[in-house]
Every structure is written in structure tokens, then in C-alpha cells.
Amino acid sequence: MNVHNLIRINEAKNQDADKIGGVKMVPQKRYVKTREEIEKDKRLEAKAKYKLRTLEDGSVDPTDKTLLFESKFESGNLYLA
């Protein structure tokens, strides 16, 4: 497929749209997030992160079965791939 040819055809269609009264394709404007939206996203991301249970000394709790589950889950994915 010739990309340059497709670009020329698209440009020609857009130029002809003005003459015929059609709608000319306008590039979409870039959406800019507000400071509040950025802060909200950061708070939600922090809530979504899972933290392993830890003991008082800071080491990982051996009774936390999350790593065991994740290991089996990923092993299954690797087997299927």
C-alpha cells in the first residue's frame, strides 16, 4: 500500500469539500487536564495500588497469599502463551 498516495487522495478530498460545500475534516483539539483532574487521577492511582501486608519490622507477611496467587496466575498465562 502506498501511504503517500493515500495522503494525496485525502488532501484532494479535503480541498474539494470546500468547493462542493461538503464538510472539511478538522483535526481534533488536544484535551488538556486541569490541575484538579490531575490530582484526582493521582489519588485514584494511589488507591488502586495494592500493597502487600507487612509485619511490624517492615518485612512481608508470610501469611499474605497474594504473591502465591499472582505466581499461579502468571504461570498459567505463560503456559497458554
Q: What is the 3-state secondary structure (H, E, C) of the chain?
A: CCHHHHHHHHHHHHHHHHHHCCCCCCCCCCCCCCHHHHHHHHHHHHHHCCCCCECCCCCECCCCCHHHHHHHHHHHHHHHC
Q: Is the pTM of this model over 0.75?
A: no
pLDDT per residue as tens digits for the range 14-65: 665 555 555 666 677 788 889 999 999 999 888 877 777 778 887 877 777 7
Report the pLDDT averaged over residues 56-75: 76
Per-residue pLDDT for 81 more than 70? no
- Please give the pLDDT value at position 74: 76
